[in-house]
Structure 1
Amino acid sequence: MVRFSCFTAAAVALFLFGVEAGPCRPLTTSLDSTAISTLADATTTILTEPTAITTETDLAESASSIASDTTIASVGVTTTTTFAESTTTAQAESTTATAAPACVETQLLSNPGFDNSNSDIAPWTTNNGAITQDSPQSGVNALAYSFINGGYKAGIVEQTVTDLDGTYEFSYYYRFVSISDNADFVCDIQLSVGGTSGRGSIEDSVGGWKTASIILTDLSAVQASLQFTTSCSGEYRQIQVNIDSLGFKRICSL
């Protein structure tokens, strides 16, 4: 609050109204509200990266009271600067690089040695094989095929494999247990996985266990049927060949 003497008040009145100074007496001067210019909603927005700053300036009317029974209405300017909470939202496309699953050389066959049961080879299915405990290559069981009376005969085992992608090796053991005298024949090994097939080697002579493998490349299937066929054809009275310890795994490097 500001206090003026009577002389000062008279001088102000003389200046404002252009009249002669008179005796000091109470004087009330009011300012019409229309004479006050109000700046409202004056908003200046400055955008910078990454912060947005908004400045708002308001012109408000303020009143000052002067003692000694004299009131002078004055116009004051109040400036309010508000720094609005700046919010910067950066949205970037998230790029996630998904690495290919690591190659693992894992056995994909279930019950590969036919040892889960002495009466069943599940999940394998077979057309004419029989479980035998006669000198298996490993475990307690092997699968025996008995071909009689010549011609083309085949023993087939089959099961479903899943999630194939890449190059795979199928390994197997075989043993010719018996061959009739004076037989004239040839035998063959064949593997089929989905629509891809390959042939394996087989030595058709009685003896111990032998092993071989078949490589299949570019396999790609969520699910496929794996079929392993052992066959003989020609002139013979009887041939018994056993198979055991089958394996099917992905090859990570050749």
Structure 2
Amino acid sequence: MLLVNPGFDDSDSSYAPWTGSAFIDQDNPQAGSQAVAIIWNNGQSNNGGYMKQTLTNLNGDYEFSYYYQVAVTRTGLSSTCSLQVKIGDDTTVPRNIDLVVGEWKSGSVSWSSAGETVAQADVELAITCTGDYDRIGINLDSFAFTRVCST
């Protein structure tokens, strides 16, 4: 596993070396003792949230996997949230998030360095919420970035 602190359990006051717009949440982690939560409140000018970590010397095929959970939702009819993964210069198509409070859901993205050694690349999971909402809370946990060996 290449990520440091992939489950956000290393400290109860920090998720370093991750950077982002979340806070530590100990209420209902997917695994371990903690997750992180991103909260959107009505009237916020910033409708995006993210978690990011920089990796170095990548060469080969990889899979980035994650878990997310809609924890709080007080929304109007036009509310939408989407999740997008960015690895280096590559960005996935946004994935719609069903804004219903419930269980943890998983996702994953494959990525390749295309035969090159990438000296440095950010791995980022970003969520954007738009529309009519009072409050939205989405938890994130159990990230992994693993090398995939060819058979």
Alignment of 1:156 with 2:50, yes or no, is: yes
2:29 maps to 136
In the other structure, the counterpart of 1:166 is 60
- 2:112 corresponds to 1:217: yes
More strand by share: 2
Work out which of the two has the higher radius of gyration on C-alpha atoms and give 1 or 2.
Answer: 1
State whether residues 198 and 215 of structure 1, in contact with CA within 8 Å, keep that contact through their aligned partners in structure 2. Answer: no
Residue 200 of structure 1, CA deviation: 5.8
- Give me the CA root mean square deviation: 1.9
Shift of 1:181: 4.4
SS of equivalent residue, structure 1 residue 184? coil
Superimposed CA distance per residue, residues 104-131 of structure 1 (whole angstroms, 9 cap, x where no aligned partner): xxx11000010000001111111x2110
Is the 2:79–2:133 contact (alpha carbons within 8 Å) kept by the matching residues of 1?
Answer: yes
SS in 1 for 2:29: coil
Which structure has more relative contact order (CA 8 Å, sep 6+)? It is 2
- Partner residue, 2:38: 145
Aligned partner letter, 1:142: A
- Higher share of residues assigned helix: 1
After superposition, the C-alpha distances for 1:219-250 in whole angstroms (9 at most, x for unaligned) are: 54022222221221111111011000011112
CA distance 1:250–1:200, change in 2 (3 Å): farther
TM-score norm. by structure 1 comes to: 0.54
The one of 78, 100, 104 equivalent to 1:205 is: 100
Residue of structure 2 in register with 1:113 after alignment:
7
Cα shift at 1:204:
2.6
| C-alpha separation in 2, matches of 1:184 and 1:143 | 26
Q: TM-score, normalised by structure 2?
A: 0.87
The change in CA–CA distance for 1:247 and 1:199 in structure 2 (over 3 A counts) is farther
**Aligned counterpart, 2:141:** 244
Equivalence map 1:118-129=2 (5 Å): 118-126=12-20, 128-129=21-22
Q: Distance in 1 between matches of 2:93 and 2:60?
A: 18
CA contact (8 A) 1:166 1:250 kept: yes
Instruction: Identify the residue that residue 76 of structure 2 maps to in structure 1.
Output: 182
Question: Does the CA contact (< 8 Å) of 1:198 and 1:216 recur in 2?
Answer: no
Moved over 6 A (4+): none
Unaligned runs of 5+ in 1: 1-106
Equivalent residue pairs, number:
147
Q: SS of 1:123's equivalent?
A: coil
* SS of the residue 1:180 aligns to: strand
Runs of 5+ in structure 2 lacking a partner? none
